[in-house]
Every structure is written in C-alpha cells, then in structure tokens.
Structure 1
C-alpha cells in the first residue's frame, strides 16, 4: 500500500517500535512501524499491512475500502472485498489496489451465531482489529 507518513507517537514500552499515523487512498490510520529506519513526516512509503491478531467478528457491508483509526492504540477498522479464501483460516482482502491477509478464528468458535462460516469470495466485509503493523518495502 502506498502511504504518506503524517505523525509519530513513541512506543509504549521499552523496545516497542513507535506508532505512525499514515494516510492512503483508503483513509488515515495508526500502525506500529516495523521498518529498520524511521521515515520522516511527509515521506511517501510503500508498505505491507499485517494484522497480527486473529479476527473473530466481521460484517458484510457496503461502502468504499477503508483503513482507519483515530488515535495511537485505538482499534483499526478495515473494509474491503474478499479476493481469495485459503484452505486454512487465511483470507485475502482487497483494500483498494492492495491485498491484506486476514486470519479468522475457527468459525465454530465465533462470537456471532450467524457466522458459522468465514466470508466468501466477493463478499464486501468490515473487520476491526486491535492493531496493525506496517512493513516498508522498495518497489
């Protein structure tokens, strides 16, 4: 995903990487920076978004692709179209021009009784995750 760095928040615990605010074509959010070097505010960076936690709840929605959160440490809302469903718990979600891999908990353990399955290809879904991490890469 192509992003622009907007702000920084220092890591919460010793050794934590700082949180960065970024904007993209799909919104503005905070994420934990996982690069070896810190970018400067205003820098344009290509990153891979990683969702480190399994997702237990999701909803079928309408609307544009979104990656959004309000403050460092606040939950991140992600909305996109399911592009592929793996045999395991991993699902590829298209957010704008990019793909983010989402790992869902076992549907039989879902907290939502109407979700005895994972979303299918073509479903437009929204999830909320406690955090995301971003890894810079060069094209």
Structure 2
C-alpha cells in the first residue's frame, strides 16, 4: 500500500517504534511504524499492513474500502472484500487495490451472536482492531 506520512509521534519508552498518522487510497489512519529508518512527514512510502491481533468480531457490510481511525491509539476500522480464506483462519481481505492478511478467531470463540463461521470469499466485511503495524518496503 502506498501511503503519505502525515504526522509522527515519538518512539515509546518500551522501545516500540513511533506512531505515524498516514493517508492512503482508502482513508486516513494511524499505525505503529515498524521500519528501521524513521519516515519523514510528507514522504510517500510503500508499506505492508499487519493486523497483529486475532479478529473476533466482524460484520458483513456495504460501502467503500476503508482503513480509518480518528486519533493515535484509537481503534482502526478496516473494510474490504474477502479474497481468500485459508484453512488456518487467515483471511486475505482486499482493501482497494491492496491485500491485508487477517487472522479470524475460530467460530467457537466468536463473540458475535449468530456468527458461526469465518467470512466467505466475496463477502464485504468490516472489523475494528486496536492497532495496525506498518512495515516499509522498496519496490
């Protein structure tokens, strides 16, 4: 995913990288920066988006692809279309032209009433995660 860095917050005392606010083709959000070099505000960067937490709650929805959050450390909302579903609970979600791999919890762990299975290929889904990590790469 190609993003523009809008803002940086300093690295944490625990040694985690900085938080970045970014704008991409599907919206504006914040993420944990996982690169060895600090990005510059205004830079365009190619990144891989990682959802570090297993997703237990999701909904089938209509609407445009989205990666959005309000402020640093607020939950990140992701909306896209399921491209593939692996046997290991990993689901590839197409968000615009990009793909984000997400691990969905087993149906028996689901907290959504009536939810009995993982999303299916072609479903438009939306979920919220406490945080996303972004890893820069060169093309």
Equivalent residue for 1:82?
Answer: 82
Rounded Cα–Cα distance in structure 2 between residues aligned with 1:102 and 1:14: 26
Does 71-80 or 5-14 show the bigger shift? 5-14
Tell me the TM-score normalised to structure 2 length. Answer: 0.98
Count of residue pairs brought into register by the alignment? 139
Secondary structure of the corresponding residue to residue 108 of structure 1: helix
Does 12-21 or 114-123 show the bigger shift? 12-21
- Which ranges in structure 2 are unaligned for 5 or more consecutive residues? none
Deviation digits for residues 14-42 of structure 1, max 9, x if unmatched?
31211000001100000000000011000
Tell me the TM-score normalised to structure 1 length. Answer: 0.98
Equivalent residue for 1:65?
Answer: 65
Rounded Cα–Cα distance in structure 2 between residues aligned with 1:118 and 1:15: 35
Rounded Cα–Cα distance in structure 2 between residues aligned with 1:129 and 1:14: 21
Deviation digits for residues 54-89 of structure 1, max 9, x if unmatched?
000000000000000111111000000000000111
Secondary structure of the corresponding residue to residue 108 of structure 2: helix
CA displacement at 1:109 relative to structure 2: 1.4
Superposition RMSD on alpha carbons, in Å?
A: 0.8
CA displacement at 1:13 relative to structure 2: 3.0
Equivalent residue for 2:132?
Answer: 132
CA displacement at 1:12 relative to structure 2: 3.6
Secondary structure of the corresponding residue to residue 100 of structure 1: strand
Rounded Cα–Cα distance in structure 1 between residues aligned with 2:9 and 2:115: 36
CA displacement at 1:11 relative to structure 2: 3.1
Matches within 5 A, 1:1-139: 1-139=1-139
Secondary structure of the corresponding residue to residue 138 of structure 1: coil
